Amino acid sequence: MSWIDGTVGTGERGFDVDQTNHSVVVGERVVVKWLTPPVPLPAPAPDMFAHLTSVGFTATATPYAALSRRADDGSEMLLALVTAYLPEARDGWEWCVDEAVSFGTSFAADLGALSADLHAAMATPSATFPDPVRTAEGPWSLRAGEALEEALALTDGEDGEWLAAHAGALRAGLAPLAAAGATPLIRIHGDLHVGQMLRWRDGYAVIDFDGNPTVADAAPFQPAARDLAQLTTSLEHVGQVAVRRRDADPAMIAEWAVAARATLESAYSDRLAELGHAGLLDRSLLRPFEIEQECRELVYAARHLPRWRYAPMGVLRSRYR
């Protein structure tokens, strides 16, 4: 029996995966993830596991059990989740940085197809989740605008000055959200970045269906573009990590990020179409959601992990010269 912390590896951005949670590997067969503190039910993960199992999605650590406790007042708290142990697993903040340094991009096709498989599974109705619904408008523009204003208020120094000077361009980049038409809503992962993509002995697996710990009261049903935007921005963050931590050439990394993103997005779209779910992705939302995600990264850095600010700022500076 051995203990591992809530971050699967030691990658640069492992901070956003429940640092206070602890996992126990039992006999290299199962992983018991203890939630510290326990979370009130209903919680995202048990419902997600139930749904994905019912529709036959297997590209994750097989869920076995959820342990809960009923309080005297009748409320129920989720204490732990039990899933399969994945041998030789490494998260994307480790293996993907290696790919960036070596200019490897073939992995991105696998991640794109896996993400499409996940979204198609989420869009398949079950006793847990309904058919995708379409909304004529959502609170996307308001939420993104608030994220930008918060990032502007919390980012200081030279970075803050740069951000303020480019605030107009960033607001313009968010504008398509206000004009968005009807788009399908599905149950999304909510925190889909490379750190949630394990490379293990038998391939890739997506993990951690606990929702985004940095966004309070996030709606569980959102456009698929929200997940995809977070995943693509995380590729660019990987590139920033490679430059800072591995002395990779910035120009080479910039080319790598463009190639990896294009490969991932193409594989994602192709697999969605193959599965009969091409309509799930509203491309008009993708780039604005990416800008919003970078703003949220800045907010999180300001509040919890100042050393991480270099990554979202590096991405924004590369986009808005």
Alpha-carbon span 293 to 284, nearest angstrom? 15
Percent of the residues in the chain that have a pLDDT greater than 70, as a whole number: 92
Q: Is the pLDDT of residue 7 over 60?
A: no
- Please, which residues have CB within 8 angstroms of residue 263's CB and are 6 or more apart in sequence? 105, 106, 108, 109, 112
pLDDT tens per residue, range 213-255: 667 777 889 999 999 999 999 999 999 999 999 999 999 999 9
Q: Is the pLDDT of residue 119 over 90?
A: yes
Task: Name the pTM for this structure.
Answer: 0.91
Beta pairing class for 221-222 and 183-187: antiparallel
Mean pLDDT of the chain: 90
Residues paired with 25 in a beta bridge:
2, 31
Task: With cut-offs at 50, 70 and 90, classify the pLDDT of residue 130.
Answer: confident
In this prediction, residue 99 carries a pLDDT of 98
Torsion angle (degrees, nearest 10) of CA 116, 121, 124, 125: -140
Could you give the count of Cα atoms lying within 13 Å of 134 in the half-sphere of its Cβ?
9
In this prediction, residue 182 carries a pLDDT of 84
Residues paired with 221 in a beta bridge:
187
pLDDT tens per residue, range 256-289: 999 999 999 999 999 999 999 999 999 999 999 9
pLDDT tens per residue, range 13-56: 543 333 457 889 998 899 999 988 888 888 899 999 999 999 99
Task: With cut-offs at 50, 70 and 90, classify the pLDDT of residue 146.
Answer: very high
In this prediction, residue 213 carries a pLDDT of 67
| 73 vs 134 pLDDT, higher one | 73
